[in-house]
Amino acid sequence: MATEQHLGTPTPMFDVIFEPFGYPFIIRGMIAAILAGALCGGIGVYVVLKRMAYIGHGLAHAVLGGAVVSFVMSFNFLIGSTVWGFLCAQLITLTTKKRKIAYDAAIGVITTASFAIGIVLISRYKSFTRDFETALFGNIAAVAPGDLVALAAVTVATALVLFVAYKHFLFTTFDGDVAQFYGVPTGWVEAAFSLVLAGTIVVSLQVLGVLLIAGATVIPPVSARMLTDSFPRMLLLSAGIGAFCGFFGIYLSYFVDVSSGATIVLVEAAVFALVMAYSNIRSRLLAVRRREDVVAPAAAPAETGIGPSAEPVKTEGD
Amino acid sequence: MLHPMPHEHHAGTPLVEINRLSCGYEKQRVLQGVNLQIMRGDFVGLLGPSGSGKTTLLRALLGAVDVYEGEVLVAGVRASEGRPRIGYVPQLETIDWNFPVTVREVVMMGRTMENRFFPWFRKEEKELADRMMGQLGILHLAGRHIRELSGGQQQRAFLARALVSSPSLLLLDEPTSGVDVKTRDDVMHLLHDLNHEGVTIVITTHEINAVAVHLPRLVCLSGRVLAEGTPYEVITTDVLRQTYGAEMPVIHYEGMPIVAESPHRYGRNGGANGDGATPGHTHAHV
């Protein structure tokens, strides 16, 4: 590197690094991507722990139907799509409760039907076709100040819900059946979750697009899970990873000039791969250390076999 | 060794009163015409084959079934209305052991509805949870992930969760299934101790010799109540035939009934489903 450059005079390298920050639409896109990344990452923790990773993917498709219907009826897109997405989620829950239909199958039926409604309307009213690509893949350049306000509002609302009902969400996510036995209003918790999830998907669509949003709700939580065994830490880590990948994805997409949503998801996938490699190495190191620990006390056996330390540690697979 | 505990019936109204109860799920009746009273300080075991309604009866106490006829009163209140404080310990097999929670977090779940509009737990609640974990001997594990515990410790963690809301009734769904013999012994000792301290307990079990005969009171179920009483009264060849549809001789040893659960060689004509029985041949059971 050019070390004898004058301080204060930025090097061309320096210029290049900070170049993206000179454009207001990139700054807007970055803020949008950070918020959307954090939002999807945070809410994704509940999605992943409930073992319904597929719901993000499904609801994003379902929401497209709501978006087109709102467009055709000249209704507010944000409210219309959120309500539509929420109703789809309720319909999925209802379907699984009433009949013996598995959750993933119900998602498949209802969300694709809703998606198809969107496609039918789009092919009927051709004026929507340009926005259609944005809806599928996201378009950071099209983020308007109003979109940022909506994103910020949903982020604050979601954070508030997750904070105020933290205990209720944790118990319901861990074991909904038993939570109900303890008097937790699990029906309300699930409904609140559906609403928050639908809102998250709607405001993130602009950045990530229908086809990529599932990545943002699944990859950060799964990465965070490998790094911690604590629920609150997983929540913060996942939101943090999502926010970082949102920022870095937009930053990279400026240079390589490719779809911003796809870049964000690829950055998240890279983070996932790194975390997995790290956690593999760590668990191997821990196994080695444990083996050494087992060898060492064998030389000087404990005086009694009683006490908590004598109880065997369960080692069933992760 | 486990011993049946002498238990006194406290005078007054029973804690649980089930009158002519028919209940089930989605119009499918599981239990019919159940009459049952559980007094304060009781320790009741529900016995019966799979699908006999043991778990359904527990759920009926929790108000989590469809009631078609009759009523369930817990402390004088219908279970479907005012919710009495009931501690529930699920089968360990139903727990998601990969869920990122520590022992302390699991125990605190038992207090979720105590200050329901307060986002975090209060200091007194945390101290209460610590005391409970201390009593059950798992306080030193409070910060551990639940998967890192032994079977007995896991059972204690979920027992602590049930106890931190000071329930008037403690329900356990097969507390000894899927654990080894020593853990089973530990868990049963612990439950007997709790019962001695005044906790009213109802458990379901599949294990007659290891668990049921040591309980003060048993209820045999098969869609309805077939028999009810002390193990001595209930564990008879006659009742067991009605309950399980199988012929099981009962021996008495030191005043305790012991059931020979499969007295015949497999492949002989002793099994309830005697298929493949070929007289004169003894099949090795592989």
Contact flag A171-B97 (C-beta cutoff 8 Å): no
Q: Name the pLDDT band for A10 (thresholds 50, 70, 90).
A: low
Q: Give the Cα separation of B12 and B9 in Å (integer).
A: 9
Q: Give the Cα separation of B113 and A184 in Å (integer).
A: 6
Between B100, B108, B140, which is nearest A234 by CB? B100
Residue bearing the bigger pLDDT, A83 or A123: A83
**Residue A179 reports pLDDT greater than 60:** yes
C-alpha separations of B115 from A33, A183, B85 in Å? 37, 12, 14
Closest by CA position to A38, among listed A224, A234, A242? A242
Residue bearing the bigger pLDDT, B82 or A262: A262
What pLDDT score does B286 carry? 36
Torsion of CA A182, A188, A194, A196, to 10 degrees: -100
Q: Which pLDDT tens digit goes with each residue over A217-255? A: 999 999 999 999 999 999 999 999 999 999 999 999 888
Closest by CA position to A207, among listed A159, A258, A147? A147
Please tell me if residue A286 touches chain B, with a CB cutoff of 8 Å: no
Give B-chain residues touching A171 at CB under 8 angstroms.
109, 112
Please tell me if residue A49 touches chain B, with a CB cutoff of 8 Å: yes
C-alpha separations of B47 from A163, B54, B68 in Å? 43, 7, 23
Terminus-to-terminus CA distance in chain A, angstroms?
47
Contact flag A174-B83 (C-beta cutoff 8 Å): no
**Residue A159 reports pLDDT greater than 70:** yes
Between A49, A180, A225, which is nearest B64 by CB? A180
Q: Give the Cα separation of A117 and B146 in Å (integer).
A: 45
List beta partners, residue B256: B253
Give A-chain residues touching B152 at CB under 8 angstroms.
311
Q: What is the CA radius of gyration of chain B?
A: 20
Terminus-to-terminus CA distance in chain B, angstroms?
32
What pLDDT score does A130 carry? 59
Interface test with A, best of B88, B99, B118, B186 (most A CBs within 10 A): B99
C-alpha separations of A126 from A62, A81, A121, A173 in Å? 20, 20, 8, 42
Tell me the shortest Cα–Cα distance from A97 to chain B, in angstroms: 10
Distant-in-sequence contacts of B143-147, Cβ < 8 A, 24+ apart: B143/B102, B143/B103, B143/B104, B144/B102, B144/B103, B145/A229, B145/B100, B145/B101, B145/B102, B145/B103, B146/B95, B146/B97, B146/B99, B146/B101, B146/B102, B146/B103, B146/B106, B147/A314, B147/A316, B147/A318, B147/B97, B147/B98
Query: Tokens 């609640």 label which residue?
Result: B125
What pLDDT score does B69 carry? 92
| Residues of chain B scoring pLDDT < 50 | 1-10, 270-286
Between B108, B120, B150, which is nearest A313 by CB? B150
What pLDDT score does B272 carry? 46
Which residues from B are below 8 Å from A when comparing CB atoms? 62, 64, 83, 86, 88, 90, 94-102, 105-106, 108-113, 116, 119-121, 137-138, 140-141, 145, 147-154, 165
Concatenate the DSSP letters of all residues of A217-241 into one string: HHHHHHHHHHH-S-HHHHHHHHHHH
Residues 6+ positions from B8 with CB-CB distance below 8 Å: B41
What pLDDT score does A95 carry? 87
What pLDDT score does B237 carry? 85
Q: Which pLDDT tens digit goes with each residue over A65-102? A: 998 888 888 888 889 999 999 999 999 888 887 767 88
Q: Give the Cα separation of A172 and B179 in Å (integer).
A: 26
Between B88, B147, B149, which is nearest A178 by CB? B88
Give A-chain residues touching B109 at CB under 8 angstroms.
167, 170-171, 174, 179, 182
Residue bearing the bigger pLDDT, A11 or A230: A230
The amino acid sitting at A302 is A
Contact flag B99-A174 (C-beta cutoff 8 Å): yes
Interface test with B, best of A171, A238, A309 (most B CBs within 10 A): A171
Give B-chain residues touching A312 at CB under 8 angstroms.
150
Q: Is B178 left (phi over 0), alpha (psi -120 to 50) or beta?
A: left
Contact flag B147-A316 (C-beta cutoff 8 Å): yes
Interface of A with B in 164-193 (CB under 8 A): 164-168, 170-171, 173-175, 177-184
What pLDDT score does B80 carry? 64
- The tokens of B249 are what? 């001789």
**Residue A156 reports pLDDT greater than 60:** yes
Q: Which of B252-282 are b and which e, b meaning 16 or more Cβ less than 10 Å from the residue's Cβ?
A: eeeebbebeeeeeeebbeebeeeeeeeeeee
Neighbours of A234 (CB within 10 A): 25
**Residue A6 reports pLDDT greater than 80:** no
Tell me the shortest Cα–Cα distance from A184 to chain B, in angstroms: 6
Give A-chain residues touching B126 at CB under 8 angstroms.
none
Contact flag B113-A184 (C-beta cutoff 8 Å): yes
Interface of A with B in 206-235 (CB under 8 A): 225, 228-231, 233-234
What pLDDT score does B266 carry? 58
Closest by CA position to A138, among listed A68, A65, A201? A201
On average, the pLDDT of chain A sits at 84
Q: Which of B231-245 are b and which e, b meaning 16 or more Cβ less than 10 Å from the residue's Cβ?
A: beebbbeebbeebbe
**Residue A315 reports pLDDT greater than 60:** no
List beta partners, residue A174: none
Q: Which pLDDT tens digit goes with each residue over A269-289? A: 999 999 999 999 998 988 888
The average pLDDT across A7-13 equals 63
Q: Give the Cα separation of A271 and A219 in Å (integer).
A: 9
Half-sphere exposure of residue B86: CA atoms within 13 angstroms, side-chain side: 33
Global model pTM greater than 0.80 = yes
Between A170, A181, A316, which is nearest B88 by CB? A181
Contact flag A49-B90 (C-beta cutoff 8 Å): no
Task: Using CA coordinates, name the residue in chain A closest to B115.
Answer: A167
Between B86, B100, B112, which is nearest A171 by CB? B112
Between A166, A171, A182, which is nearest B119 by CB? A166
C-alpha separations of A198 from A81, A111, A169, A206 in Å? 8, 12, 17, 14
Q: Which pLDDT tens digit goes with each residue over A16-55? A: 788 888 888 889 999 999 999 999 999 999 999 988 888 8
Q: SS3 letters for B94-146? A: HCCCCCCCEHHHHHHHCCCCCCCCCCCCCHHHHHHHHHHHHHCCCHHHCCCEH
Closest by CA position to A174, among listed A186, A164, A162? A186
Neighbours of A24 (CB within 10 A): 9
Residue B196 φ/ψ, nearest 5 degrees: -65, -30
Q: Give the Cα separation of B223 and B75 in Å (integer).
A: 25
List beta partners, residue B66: B24
Neighbours of A189 (CB within 10 A): 21
Query: Tokens 């050494």 label which residue?
Result: A292
Closest by CA position to B271, among listed B257, B258, B251, B285? B285
What pLDDT score does A128 carry? 64
Neighbours of B183 (CB within 10 A): 20
Tell me the shortest Cα–Cα distance from A306 to chain B, in angstroms: 13
The amino acid sitting at B202 is V
Task: Using CA coordinates, name the residue in chain A closest to B183.
Answer: A311
Describe chain A by its helix, strand, coil percentages, rounded to 5.
Answer: 80, 0, 20
Distant-in-sequence contacts of B264-273, Cβ < 8 A, 24+ apart: B271/B246, B272/B244, B272/B245, B272/B246, B272/B247
What pLDDT score does B79 carry? 67
Q: Give the Cα separation of A307 and B138 in Å (integer).
A: 11
Q: Which uninterrupted H or E stretch holds A43?
A: helix A24-49
Determine contact, residues B169/B14, Cβ cutoff 8 Å: no
The complex's ipTM works out to: 0.84
The sign of the dihedral angle between the CA atoms of A19, A24, A28, A29 is negative
Neighbours of B26 (CB within 10 A): 9
In this complex, how many residue pairs, one in chain A and one in chain B, have their CB atoms less than 8 Å apart? 91
